[in-house]
C-alpha cells in the first residue's frame, strides 16, 4: 500500500507519515520548506522518517513541478500542504495563499484524475466557518470565513467536491480544529506561550482571554485522517475536533500548573480574522468515521511542554 503525504515536514504531516509507516504503508512525502518558520525545525520533524526503508522524500513545489510521477501507483493521497496562518493572510500576502492553497490543490486533484486512487483526503480548517455564535459548528452550516486564509481553505474544499462530482476523484475534506501537541508550528499560541515561559518572557495575548477554542491533539487528528481514508463515501466534509471547548484563560492556567510558573501576559487588541469561539459538532465524524478523540487537554499540553523543553530555548 502506497500513500502520498504532502506537507510531510510539517507538524501534522510528519506525525501522519510516521503512523502510516507503522501501519505498513510505503510513504512518499513531499515538502517545499516554506519559509514560515525555520527549516531546521522542519528537518527535525523528518528525523523519524528519513532512513526508513519504506519512506521516500521529495523536495518540491506542488504549484510548479510535474506531479505525474508523485501519484503513480498511489492508493491514498493525504493533502496537508499549504500556506498556514490567519493573521498573515491579508494584503499582498494573499498571493501566497492563492498559490499554495488553491492552485496547488487544483493541480494535485487534476493529476489524480483516472489514477485509480482509493481516497484523496484534504486537510481543511475550522476557519471556513468564520465568526459565529451558532455553536457547535456543523458541517451543514453555511461557511462564512472572516479571513483570506479561511477563504483559501474553503476554495480547496469546493475544488475537492467538483473533482469528485465531475471526474470521480474520491475526495473527503476534513475541517481541523486548532491542532496542538509536539512539533506544533512556532506561530501557534501554545508554542509561543511555552517557549516564552522557557525564556521568562512576556507573552502576547490577543483579545481578552475569554475567547474559546476546540483544541485537538495531533494524535487524534491523525486517527481521524486515517479513518477518512478508509471511509467508503466520497465528496463529503467532516469536522475533526477535540470534543470540548476551552477558554484561552483556562488553557493558560493548565499550562501554568504543568510548568509551575505564572505567565506574564501582554494583552493586545483582537486581530483581524480572529474568531471568538470554535466548537466542533462531531456527530457525523463519530457515526461515519468512528472518530473519537481521546486526549484530554491538560495531558496533551503536558506532552507539548516536554517537547518544547527538549528543543531548547
DSSP string, 97-149: HIIIIIIHHHHHHHHHTTS--SEEEEEEEGGGG-S-SS-SB-TTSPP--SSHH
CB 9 within 8 A of CB 43: yes
3-state secondary structure of 33: coil
Q: Could you give phi then psi for residue 59, rounded to 5 degrees?
A: -95, 120
Residues sharing a CB contact under 8 Å with residue 54, sequence separation 6 or more, in sequence order:
21, 24, 25, 26, 27
Beta strands 246-247 and 212-213 are: antiparallel
Closest by alpha carbon to 297, among 249, 239, 255, 263?
255
- Which among 76, 122, 129, 149 is annotated as catalytic? 149
3-state secondary structure of 77: strand
Taking each helix axis as running N to C, give the angle between helix 248-259 and helix 189-199, from 0 to 180 degrees, rounded to the nearest 10.
40
Closest by alpha carbon to 229, among 278, 272, 275, 172?
172
Q: Could you give phi then psi for residue 265, rounded to 5 degrees?
A: -95, 135
What CA–CA distance (Å, rounded) separates 156 from 133? 24
Count the helices and strands in the chain (H runs, E runs).
Answer: 11, 13
Closest by alpha carbon to 215, among 126, 283, 87, 101?
126
176 labelled catalytic: no
Residues sharing a CB contact under 8 Å with residue 275, sequence separation 6 or more, in sequence order:
127, 129, 130, 131, 132, 146, 211
Active-site residue set? 149
Amino acid at each position: 500500500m502506497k500513500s502520498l503525504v504532502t506537507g510531510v515536514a510539517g507538524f501534522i504531516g510528519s506525525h501522519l507519515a510516521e503512523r502510516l509507516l507503522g501501519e505498513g504503508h510505503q510513504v512518499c512525502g513531499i515538502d517545499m520548506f516554506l519559509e514560515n518558520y525555520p527549516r531546521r525545525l522542519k528537518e527535525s520533524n523528518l528525523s523519524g522518517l528519513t532512513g526508513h526503508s519504506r519512506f521516500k522524500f521529495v523536495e518540491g513545489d506542488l504549484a510548479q513541478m510535474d506531479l505525474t510521477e508523485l501519484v503513480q501507483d498511489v492508493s491514498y493521497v493525504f493533502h496537508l500542504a499549504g500556506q498556514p496562518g490567519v493573521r498573515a493572510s491579508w494584503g499582498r500576502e494573499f498571493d501566497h495563499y492563492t498559490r499554495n492553497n488553491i492552485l496547488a490543490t487544483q493541480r494535485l486533484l487534476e493529476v489524480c484524475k483516472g489514477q485509480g486512487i482509493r481516497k484523496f483526503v484534504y486537510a481543511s480548517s475550522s476557519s471556513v466557518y468564520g465568526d459565529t455564535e451558532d455553536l457547535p459548528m456543523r458541517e451543514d452550516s453555511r461557511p462564512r470565513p472572516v479571513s483570506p486564509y479561511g477563504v483559501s481553505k474553503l476554495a480547496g474544499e469546493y475544488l475537492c467536491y467538483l473533482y469528485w462530482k465531475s471526474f470521480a476523484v474520491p475526495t473527503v475534506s476534513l475541517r481541523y480544529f486548532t491542532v496542538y501537541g509536539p512539533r506544533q508550528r512556532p506561530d501557534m499560541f501554545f508554542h509561543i506561550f511555552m517557549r516564552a515561559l522557557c525564556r521568562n518572557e512576556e507573552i502576547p495575548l490577543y483579545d481578552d482571554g475569554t475567547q474559546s477554542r476546540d483544541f485537538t491533539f495531533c494524535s487524534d487528528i491523525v486517527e481521524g485522517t486515517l479513518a477518512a481514508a478508509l471511509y467508503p463515501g466520497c465528496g463529503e466534509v467532516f469536522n475533526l475536533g477535540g470534543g470540548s471547548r476551552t477558554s484561552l484563560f483556562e488553557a493558560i492556567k493548565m499550562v501554568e500548573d504543568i510548568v509551575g510558573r505564572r505567565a506574564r501576559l501582554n494583552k493586545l487588541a483582537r486581530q483581524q480574522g480572529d474568531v471568538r469561539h470554535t466548537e466542533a459538532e462531531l456527530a457525523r465524524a463519530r457515526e461515519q468515521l468512528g472518530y473519537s478523540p481521546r486526549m484530554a487537554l491538560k495531558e496533551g499540553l503536558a506532552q507539548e511542554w516536554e517537547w518544547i523543553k527538549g528543543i531548547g530555548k
